[in-house]
Chain A
Amino acid sequence: MELINSQPELKHGLHFYNLSNENDLKFNNKFIQQNTIPNHKVISDKYFSFIEKKFRKQNFTSSILKDIHHKFLNSKSLDQYLENLFKINYFKSFKTIHLIIHEKGKVSANHLEFKSYAKTCTQKDVSEFNKLFFSIKKSKNRSFGQSTLKGLNFEILGTIIAREFSLPKYNVIFLLSKDDFLPQSQSDIDTFNIVTNSIPEHLNHILNFEYNQKLIERIQTCIQYGMFSVAVSKRNKIYYQCKNHHNFNNSINIQYKDFDIVINENKDRPFDDVDIFHKERITLLGDLLNTLRHELSNPLFGLKLSTELMLIDSLDNNQTMFIQEIHNGIVRCNDILHSFSTLYNHSETKISIDIVKLVDEVFTLTKSATRQIKKIVKFDNNCEKIKLISNETWIVQILFNLIINSAQELLNSNTIKPQIIVEISKQPKHITLKVIDNGPAVSQQNIKTIFNAFYTTKNKGTGLGLYISKNLAKKLSGDLRYINQQNKQGAIFELSLPLEITDEHISY
């Protein structure tokens, strides 16, 4: 790999804004807290000068404005800022604060609704947002009634007082409602105008800050799993360094302000381009299968109906047999398509699942990998009646992964009389599914690392199967673990799932 030695220009690279706790409004122009990136807190000169200007421009003898600004400086996030606003007397007279934010370029807008005791967040379509935004912008009055909201999907009650802001990256609607139908007086509107003058800058700052936070997290993930390892230092003090950073001869050196940045090829990178392409291929495959399924299901349905008709009319026994076979073939095609589509389904719905039937389905899906292997499903009598309420796709994915892993180990190790047993047992509040094979056990030293991302013992493995499966199990409020039988032969993976998941359980 060729490294290009150049000095790229990093624009907003290292300014991490933090809304720090300013109890008194004194400003120190060169206020920097030293810390390791990404907790690096830098309040730049630019931000201080803008605040000073704001103070001078507006009438800050007004205590409301001071208060609002103070609350802003005390907030570390958008939610906190709006909660803090509610503590100010002016805002307390309203029942709800609505904030509708549209990131320019996105197809949906976020509608945050704050009451003093609760908040909700819903998504709104950008066309609806724009209609409301422009009708507020066009109007010279700040007070609106239900007629403005007519036909739109916003659930906002009563007369509202609103203002729209056009920030560089976002369009925002700021709405206050008393949840009654009384009109706003002119003095109410005037106060509102003054009060909300500093809000756009606050919002811009917070939204940019949160945006940067997300960006930093993504950059960190890229660095962690990426092709490069990075080390950042300032005057020989290390700010940030990747775990496996080494200094090589042909590294890129960049200087940015007082920082020295060294970028190297990550030679310890645990995966290569093949794996990235493989992941992409799997996503593409999922989409392709979905399309295929829809395209095939229509003609197959036509075929099925016509064979059923022919069966009704058929008099010749031979003919009947043939038509019946055609019909069976079609039914099989449908079942296979259906099984595959649930495997790649992106929806996250919970349905009532017959667990025994699901295990059978997974065995069908894994048939090609488990041809020479004996497959047994064991369950107690009370398991047949179990209806698990959970996400079928994810459970299928986990079992599929476990069975394929077992099959591969059994075949690679040339185990005599290979077999895979899936044992289902019911506990009071959950069920466990054990995938047991009689192949080699996981070695003692590997047991701790098998669920790690990118850990694999295979030449062409991605190392993601067990990692993803464990995460899915956790998402379902269950768990996936390996049962250590010490020196006994065979591998047992146990998936435990609660019998019913409510919405509180599913965490994303």
Chain B
Amino acid sequence: MNILVIEDEILIQQSLKLLLQKKGATVTCCANGKNAITMIKNQNFDKIVCDLMLQDISGFDVIEESKHKYSKEEIQRKFIIITAYCSEQVTKQAQNYGCNILKKPFNDIQKALDLMLLAT
């Protein structure tokens, strides 16, 4: 299972990486949106865990750019949005794309990891 974690808070990024690796996944990390877009273009990922508040662009922009490569259905399956800001607007936008959205901090870390490792 090939997972891309896009998160600019290093502790969260690295902890998620280790936790997912322990469960057998191959994890690549990325801290900003622009690099993430390049990575998505050049490599194939089974799952993409994407934070919304990135330093340069928004997580939704990353999803938009991935539309060049993935179909709408694939985006729905592959992307998991994680965010600390869960306003109505954000949930609406996420619903438009149809992807799962996880609120930080995770109440149940095991459930969150299971969602990320769910084979599509």
Contacts and interface: CB of A to CB of B under 8 A. Distances in A.
Interface string B1-41: 00000000111101110110010000000000000000000
Contacts of B109: 305, 308
A297 B10 CA distance: 14
Contact of B19 (A299, A301, A305, A334): A305
A298 B104 contact: yes
Contacts of A306: 11, 14-15
A301 B105 contact: yes
A334 B109 CA distance: 15
Contacts of B16: 305
A455 to B, nearest CB: 38
Contact of A334 (B10, B18, B105): B105
Contact of B9 (A298, A308, A309): A298
A504 B73 CA distance: 41
Nearest to B51: A298
B85 A305 contact: no
Interface in A273-328: 294, 297-306, 308-309, 312
A302 B84 contact: no
A324 to B, nearest CB: 16
Interface residues of B, number: 16
Contacts of B12: 298, 301-302, 305
A302 B9 contact: yes
Given A308-B109, A309-B19, A302 B85 contact: no
B18 A301 contact: no
A302 B104 CA distance: 10
Nearest to A293: B84
Nearest to A299: B9
B84 A304 contact: no
Given A303-B11, A306-B14, A297 B19 contact: no
Contacts of B105: 297, 300-301, 304, 334
B73 to A, nearest CB: 24
A302 B106 CA distance: 11
A507 B118 CA distance: 45
Interface string B78-120: 0000001100000000000000000011100100000000000
A305 B11 contact: yes
Contacts of A334: 105
A294 B83 CA distance: 10
Given A306-B14, A309-B18, A334-B105, A301 B9 contact: yes
Nearest to A307: B15
Given A302-B12, A308-B109, A297 B18 contact: no
Report which residue of B11, B22, B106, B109 has the largest number of chain A beta carbons within 10 angstroms of its beta carbon.
B11
B30 to A, nearest CB: 16
A292 to B, nearest CB: 12
A303 B15 CA distance: 9
Contact of B104 (A297, A303, A308, A309): A297
B9 A294 contact: no
Contacts of A304: 105
B12 to A, nearest CB: 4
Given A297-B104, A298-B12, 16 more contacts: A294-B85, A297-B105, A298-B9, A298-B84, A301-B9, A301-B84, A301-B104, A301-B106, A302-B9, A302-B10, A305-B19, A305-B109, A308-B109, A309-B15, A309-B18, A334-B105
28 contacts: A294-B84, A294-B85, A297-B84, A297-B104, A297-B105, A298-B12, A298-B84, A299-B9, A301-B9, A301-B84, A301-B104, A301-B106, A302-B9, A302-B10, A302-B11, A302-B12, A302-B15, A303-B11, A305-B12, A305-B109, A306-B11, A306-B15, A308-B15, A308-B109, A309-B15, A309-B18, A309-B19, A334-B105
Interface of B: 9-12, 14-16, 18-19, 22, 84-85, 104-106, 109
